[in-house]
Structure 1
Amino acid sequence: MPHTPNRREILAGAAALSAAPALLHAATPAGDPSLKGRTILITGCSSGFGRIGALHYARLGAKVIATMRGLPRPEAESLAAEAAKDKLDLDIVEIDVTSDASVASGTAKALAIAGGRIDTLVNNAGIGITGPVEVQDMEATQLIFDTNVFGIQRMLRALLPQMRAAKGGQVFNISSQLGRVIVPGGGHYSATKFAVEALSEQMAYELVPHGIDVTVIQPGGYPTKVWVNRNAYTGALKARSDAALLDAYAPFTRGMGTEDGSGRSADPADVPRAIAEIMAMPAGKRPLRRAVHPGTRPQEAINRVSAEVQLAWLGGSPTLGPLVKAVHD
């Protein structure tokens, strides 16, 4: 069959793609993608999507560098034990995404373990703090933006240079349904995830000439430890908040720090499975966004309209049009 060039080949040239053969993987006969030859760094692997994903990708053949803050800790020990039991290629490295120094030292160690090449970055680390906007003091505001937005920026600046040098790579940023739609009383969580959405889309356009794909993952609500962690942060915020301010927003502040995520039965492994599927797609043909949840996905309508608007607005530009079309085609 004659070869039809994909959009990355048209924009960046076939040489750029051939420099990154590890990014092209086919599915196994059983339906699970093979990730053999890929090296993946994941942030926030102490629990939830990060931990499940680290084990899942390693079981599919990838070399995985699972990172988390506060080492040593029991979560790291149990993850290492499970990886050793299954003879998985998985290393654990300390990275606190809120710290410039920790990101610098952790990514340097990860690159040394990986032989200087990490082809896939999964920016998974994130926190939630609920409550009305006015109740969010600057301590809470700075913490959630430092983790959910600035943490991603730190990781990008640390690992994109070696991806650009290799003329290929892949970045996944974990957003949320709430990166597109709003729930009153949700604190600054949506504000940070809206920022992640914008940052990711802009970066996707800018990285087209470098052969690096960007995908935003938009999970719905899943029963992970995120609820426990969120309650700790939210409970502390409520404890230091003025009673009169809390009373002014009583419908939204009454339950601050007590939500446990009960009633949510969706399988958290949905998210790593979706990420692995996208990893296995040919470079240049991966989606910019993927909504993940077995229930309703209200953000999908917004995703479609957003793509249509970007194409209508910039698609005809001689300089920006090819970038926008490469991402949305």
Structure 2
Amino acid sequence: MARALITGCSTGIGRATAVELTRRGHEVVATARRRATLDDLDVAARLELDVDDDASVAAAVAAAGEVDVLVNNAGWEAGGPVEGVPLDAAKAMFETNVFGVARMVQAVAPSLRAGGGGTIVNVSSMAGRTAAPLNGFYAASKFAVEGLSESLHYELRHFGIRVVIIEPGEIATSFADNVRRFGEDAPPWGELRTQWDAAFGKLGGDGPLPGPELVATAIADAVEADDPPLRVPVGPDAELVAAVRATSDDAAFEATMRETLGLTW
């Protein structure tokens, strides 16, 4: 049995992961910026935690006590064309998506090392494997998470700490409803927005989107695996993109995706 500290448990992937790890018999310390959103979660502990704030992180990590697993899930998206997203919004997103991960790792990794090992799971995205139009800053934040995580993998494996990057595709959560969008519908970007929305739906096939439970299962499997892979794409669209990306150069990848998605922009 492991004791896991999870960020961003109010909804979606974080909440589903808390439920799944608890179901498998692990102790879960679920966290969110507003503790009240966790009141209905049946877990070992529920804590307030804002990954953007040093003092909040320090207090939550101290209250959580010794853990074996850290799941960095908290994140959000500022969407829109690169020239249209205010830099203040992009910086705020990086503070959560990138520096929030780093802040949690710096707070927890020393105790994992002292305890002889553990697991750090960083939730990235299909956007961390390849960028798409109108999500440049979000993709950049997830590319940063991928690079940070890969470096951590090499730094920490000597101490028995496994690092796993989870790369979900499109998942049926409230995440998309909370995207802060800037300038996507204004000329000349409205046409691209319409075309990309239609194309993006083709990646996952004709069925309904998978729920956050699919990602939670992948995270729990990684936590319990003896030797988990560094990267785990989750969902049919993420698996497709990862497979094509791994076997193509940039030009071939773009050509394949344009043909698959019917993009003319």
Structure 1 residues 85-141: Cα deviation after superposition (integer angstroms, max 9, x where no partner): xxxx42110111111111111111111xxxxx2110000001012100011112211
TM-score (norm 1): 0.67
2:126 maps to 1:126: no
| Aligned-residue offset at 1:277 | 1.3
Task: Decide whether the 8 Å contact of 2:170 with 2:209 is kept in 1.
Answer: no
Partners of 1:264 and 1:55 in 2: CA distance: 22
2:261 maps to 1:297: no
1:78 aligns to what SS in structure 2?
coil
**Which aligned runs of 4 or more in structure 1 are off by greater than 6 angstroms?**
none
2:19 maps to 1:76: no
2:235 maps to 1:271: no
Structure 2 unaligned segments of length 5 or more: list them: 196-200, 202-206, 250-265
| Aligned-residue offset at 1:264 | 4.7
CA RMSD of aligned residues (A): 2.5
| Aligned-residue offset at 1:161 | 0.5
- What residue number does 2:56 align with? 102
Task: Decide whether the 8 Å contact of 2:30 with 2:38 is kept in 1.
Answer: no
- What residue number does 2:115 align with? 166
Percent identity, aligned pairs only? 39
- What residue number does 2:263 align with? none
Partners of 1:304 and 1:278 in 2: CA distance: 24
| Aligned-residue offset at 1:294 | 3.3
| Aligned-residue offset at 1:182 | 1.6
Task: Decide whether the 8 Å contact of 1:131 with 1:252 is kept in 2.
Answer: no
Partners of 2:148 and 2:101 in 1: CA distance: 9
- Within the candidate set 221, 224, 247, 1:280 is matched to 224
Task: Decide whether the 8 Å contact of 1:41 with 1:120 is kept in 2.
Answer: yes
Equivalent pairs counted in the alignment come to 239
Structure 1 residues 212-236: Cα deviation after superposition (integer angstroms, max 9, x where no partner): 0000001110110101211xx22xx
Counterpart residue identity of residue 189, structure 1? Y
Structure 1 unaligned segments of length 5 or more: list them: 1-36, 84-88, 112-116, 256-260, 307-329
Partners of 1:300 and 1:77 in 2: CA distance: 40
Structure 1 residues 127-165: Cα deviation after superposition (integer angstroms, max 9, x where no partner): 012100011112211111001000000000000010111
- What residue number does 1:24 align with? none
Counterpart residue identity of residue 297, structure 1? L
TM-score (norm 2): 0.83
Task: Decide whether the 8 Å contact of 2:173 with 2:211 is kept in 1.
Answer: no
Partners of 1:218 and 1:175 in 2: CA distance: 5
Partners of 1:78 and 1:198 in 2: CA distance: 35
Counterpart residue identity of residue 280, structure 1? E
Residues 1:206 and 1:302: Cα distance change in structure 2 (over 3 Å): farther
Task: Decide whether the 8 Å contact of 1:175 with 1:197 is kept in 2.
Answer: yes
- What residue number does 1:247 align with? 187
2:168 maps to 1:219: yes
Partners of 2:142 and 2:126 in 1: CA distance: 9
| Aligned-residue offset at 1:301 | 4.6
Task: Decide whether the 8 Å contact of 1:120 with 1:169 is kept in 2.
Answer: yes
Partners of 1:215 and 1:300 in 2: CA distance: 18
2:92 maps to 1:92: no
Partners of 2:63 and 2:169 in 1: CA distance: 33
Structure 1 residues 177-233: Cα deviation after superposition (integer angstroms, max 9, x where no partner): 110112111141100000011110011011121110000001110110101211xx2
- Within the candidate set 146, 158, 166, 1:197 is matched to 146
Task: Decide whether the 8 Å contact of 1:131 with 1:187 is kept in 2.
Answer: yes
- What residue number does 1:210 align with? 159
Structure 1 residues 223-269: Cα deviation after superposition (integer angstroms, max 9, x where no partner): 10101211xx22xx45xx9x9xx4343435689xxxxx9x8521321
Structure 1 residues 285-318: Cα deviation after superposition (integer angstroms, max 9, x where no partner): 2210111103453124545789xxxxxxxxxxxx
1:134 aligns to what SS in structure 2?
coil
- Within the candidate set 53, 57, 75, 2:21 is matched to 57
Q: Which has the larger radius of gyration?
A: 1
